[in-house]
Structure 1
Amino acid sequence: MDPKDIKHLNPKLAPGASDPIETVPEPELHPGDDPLDKIAEVHTRVLDTIAGFEKLSEKAEPEFKPVADAFLTTHQKHEAELAGYLRKMGRDPNDDGSFFGAVNSSLIEIRSWFEDVTADVMDRVKEGEKHVFEAYEQARDTGQTIEANAMLSYHMEQLNALLRAHAV
């Protein structure tokens, strides 16, 4: 392409252009703001949530079991997608979750000794999902790739749809 053609398309890019190209400064990253670290945090929280829903599904009364299973299946699908993305980007995803996952599972076990696991637990489910959503939002707001943002947004939409479908 002839340099004169470039000047007609975008004068700022033409050789010898007097105005420098305006650039938007890169956002300043602080410790813990690495976009992949944020996705890894989402992955850990999803693993923790899976541990809770595995126990919830196990202890659920028959009328609530399909709800618990729907959340469990969705989180398992999301975990696999998050882990796959992290691997693709050269990260080794955590397979164990955090201490919170073990606590979550234990709390559900203990509650099941004293009360039936029915739709009455949906308020606690919503609180747990809020913890996951916070991680998704933080990850999405930390300069992700288009691919990562699409995945994160899609996961959030699916979780919102589940919460709306099973609102009490």
Structure 2
Amino acid sequence: MVGIRSYGAPEPAALDALETLHLRSLDVLAGFETMVERAEPAFRPTAARFRDLHRVQSEELAEMIARFGREPESKGSLMSTVNRAVVSLRSLVNGVDGNIIDQIQDGEQHVVTAFDDALGEGQPIDVTARLRSMRRELCLLLFETQAAAATGR
């Protein structure tokens, strides 16, 4: 693990990792936007919480990337389209309800891993602090939704 840098621009590898995190966040955001549209009424608030968290985090990550002189991605990767398609197909076959929690947990692991990768590249201290906070927010939401699904709420 590279040490935490002080304020200032990150090394190129650290900025690349930040861009990868932003891209993964955009990709899952696309899936949650479709999920909110197609979710069963009882599950819609959960999908909306994920959508809203990823929207805020994607915007903040884009601001960080722009601050360091790179143009942030705005639409996501091919995975954005795949995520939308998967959610749309699932809504036609099985519906989008609480039974999708395990798939959400699996998909979100890619974002958590991207947080870990970005943190492991020695970001500036202010970026490190914010990334840790953002990762905690996501992990807490994942924990809450998994616990709710396990108890049937």
Identify the TM-score tier after normalising by the shorter chain. Answer: 0.7 to 0.9
Query: In the aligned structure 1, how far is the partner of 2:139 from the partner of 2:118?
Result: 17
Q: What do residues 35-93 of structure 1 show as CA deviations (whole Å, max 9, x unaligned)?
A: 00100000000000110000111110000000000000000000111001111111110
Higher helix share: 2
The alignment status of 1:83 with 2:62, answered yes or no, reads: yes
TM score, norm. by length of structure 2: 0.87
In 2: Cα distance, 1:63 partner to 1:110 partner: 19
> Which of structure 1's runs of 4+ aligned residues deviate more than 2 A?
none
Do residues 150 (structure 1) and 129 (structure 2) align? Answer: yes
1:122 to 89, 101, 107: 101
1:47 counterpart residue number:
26
What residue is the counterpart of 2:112 in the other structure? 133
Cα-Cα RMSD: 1.7
CA deviations 1:111-153 (Å, max 9, x no partner) are: 1111121110000000110011111100100011111111111
- How many residue pairs match? The answer is 139
Q: How does 1:48-127 map to 2 (within 5 A)?
A: 48-127=27-106
Inter-partner Cα distance in structure 2 for 1:82 and 1:133? 14
Report which structure shows greater RCO (CA 8 Å, sep ≥6): 2
1-structure distance, mates of 2:48, 2:137: 14
| Alpha-carbon distance between aligned partners in 1 of 2:20 and 2:87, rounded to the nearest angstrom | 23
Distance, in Å, in 2 between the alignment partners of 1:48 and 1:144 is: 23
The percent of aligned pairs where both chains have the same amino acid is 34
Taking the aligned partners of 2:44 and 2:77, their CA distance within structure 1 comes to: 25
List alignment gaps of at least 5 residues for structure 1. Answer: 1-24, 27-32
